[in-house]
Structure 1
């Protein structure tokens, strides 16, 4: 009986880990994003780039969700949390800061925002988590070294266990407690 309870507890722990991983697999899946840009306005896929700053993710992942109205930058989000930024032309010296607010459409607060692949770009972008649902990226110090040079970043959300995970954990603890009591009685 002890061996069976141990196996059940181990299985519950594995399910707990799998549940937490599954919950964070596509952190931006249902995101609706409001964009702003320090050097002008932002055009969004949501209105066929006619002037809006709010967009959902491209369901086919074939187009960038946002372009700056000055035609310097494109911003392409993917459901897994990656944000690819690319330049459309040579970038003159200036201040270029873009902010993206996900509002209440994220499943958890933003935990991390980092560069994943700088590609052929030089310099350092300044990545900031403004609050639980907003990120900002300052591209002023980035050297793009050619047109359409991708700079890939990633947004990670805090891990939030699925509701069933808490029940599995409670059941596992109750089972271990019962096994310990039975073991004491059998001595």
Structure 2
């Protein structure tokens, strides 16, 4: 039997992630944006996308869109409160986030959400996709969005940042 490796390369043994992690992410983003500015925040996210996620990016490069879909299914299965559909087609993988677990948890916790919060998915995702030989686009935000991963050449226009909604509390 040739079992495929787990698409999540983490050592965590919990069946789901801890939703309070979203509080820490939001606070970290607020700190970096406030102290270092938006450009430093974008660099931080791009570096994390390339370096921290290197094992996943390598699996995506090797396994293509099928590996991307497997990863996102496993990722969101471990995210508490996620309502997400992963759609595979011949030239792309779309992650349709119907209810973002992070935004939902931050609102339930009455946190002031960093308005750029939803952009982090693009900056991380685009860096990861590029490392894996793919491209990524994001549309929506503020609780519901669509991530699309595809080979180069599928998208004819660059990402419009205005297509990513600002997060509100």
TM-score normalised by the chain length of structure 2: 0.28
Q: Which has the higher strand share?
A: 1
Select the structure of larger CA radius of gyration.
1
TM-score normalised by the chain length of structure 1: 0.26
